[in-house]
Amino acid sequence: MKGTARDVFFERIRDALNRSQQPTREPLVVDHDLIRRGKNSVPEDPSARSSLFKERAIAVGMEVSCCKKNTLNKSMVDRLIRAGISSVLLPDDPLLENDSTQLLQDAGIATHDNGIDIDQLYTEVDCGITVAIVAVASTGSVVVASSDRERRLASLVPPNHLVLLPESRIVPDLIDLSRSSAGQTAPLGGSGALPSCLTIVTGPSKTADIEGVLITGVHGPGRVDILLLEGC
């Protein structure tokens, strides 16, 4: 049997039922205009949208600081030092300059790449660094995607999470996120294609399962910082 795990699984079921042919299906057609914006829609002006995003992100418990693209490395190192971070998981993203690893190591911060062992990720990494593919102004959320450049667990396992966000990737609301996946806009990495795994981060990890008491950072990052790249 060949194909993805999903293909193999369904092929085995068909064999057990003596159904050799895979049934044909009509393609799913989605009307992305079916859901419409409310009266209090997010302003289209990029500056106002950016301001709203910062306000909403801070309101849900994230810290937001701004920098320019040419000061990204310095701003990132300074923020990690202030947070007492001693080791990070770095993505393989072109947004980061070639000397990022060296600058971090010169500052006494150990760096790990995507090849890190899963046990090391749990025990040796203080902070996962990710690059947001899009952010949602109305909810203050950032969206990260797993790929060959970035591990999904980078935003889920380490106790700290630092998100690098180009300002141009902020969209008004979740409707725009849905439309971008359909190719109507292109903040999802510029391709318009929906990645296989998206993680929407809206504040630090929280749970209220125990007696209704809200606790932060139980099963994921207890601190989420956003470095907003203005004009980028």
- Find the mean pLDDT for residues 126-154: 90
Domain ranges of the chain: 44-229
Strand, coil or helix: 202: coil
102-106, 107-111, 123-127, 144-148: lowest mean pLDDT where? 144-148
Q: Does the domain made of 44-229 have the CATH classification 3.40.50.150?
A: no
Residue pair 146/197 in contact by the 8 Å Cβ criterion: yes
Tokens matching residue 43: 């302003």
Residue 183 pLDDT exceeds 50:
no
For the segment 75-121, what is each residue's pLDDT rounded down to a tens digit? 999 999 999 999 999 998 889 878 899 999 999 999 999 889 989 99
- Helix-then-strand count for the chain, H and E: 6, 12
Query: Which residue type sits at 142?
Result: V
Residue 190 pLDDT exceeds 60:
no
Q: What is d(CA 2, CA 65) in angstroms, rounded to the nearest whole number?
A: 48
What pLDDT does 186 receive? 47
What pLDDT does 147 receive? 80
